[in-house]
Amino acid sequence: YIDFEAKETRNKTSFPLSNVHQHQIDHMKAVDQQGGICFMIIKFAPLEEVYLLPSKQLFIFWDEQWKGGRKSIPYAFIKKEGYYIPFHFQARVDYAAALDKLISELEEN
């Protein structure tokens, strides 16, 4: 099972967690717990860059914000831990190639 959320930010340096709702996280965690593949596609509009961020990476920041942690995910973290999705003319956001990389890494672990 594959499930994802797609979000956009006008911020250049981080992705605000306020763009995500608790029910979306609850659903993503349920998918993850059942062995599904879950992720978030994040577009940094000013940079014209899109990344696939695995749900487990998202959960780190989501859970820590309630313990006094950051209320956003740094762009540098997303760039390092996520998968860049290049723009294409026909499929503007072709996430399939990034998804293939994620699946390969999951199979290795």
CATH at residue 19: 3.40.1350.10
Q: How confident is the model at residue 60 (pLDDT cuts 50, 70, 90)?
A: very high
Position 91 pLDDT exceeds 60:
no
Res 89 pLDDT > 80: no
Alpha-carbon dihedral 69, 38, 15, 11, rounded to 10 degrees: 180
Task: Report yes or no on whether pTM surpasses 0.95.
Answer: no
- Give the span between the Cα atoms of 60 and 75, in whole angstroms: 15
Give the mean pLDDT of 74-100.
83
Find how far residue 25's CA is from the centre of its chain. Answer: 11
Indicate the DSSP class of residue 86.
Answer: -
**Average pLDDT over every residue of 76-101:** 82
Q: Which residue shows structure tokens 């762009």?
A: 75
Its domain, for residue 74, covers 2-108
Domain count, the chain: 1
- Dump pLDDT digits (tens) for 98-108: 888 888 888 88
Distance in angstroms (rounded) separating the CA atoms of residues 108 and 98: 16
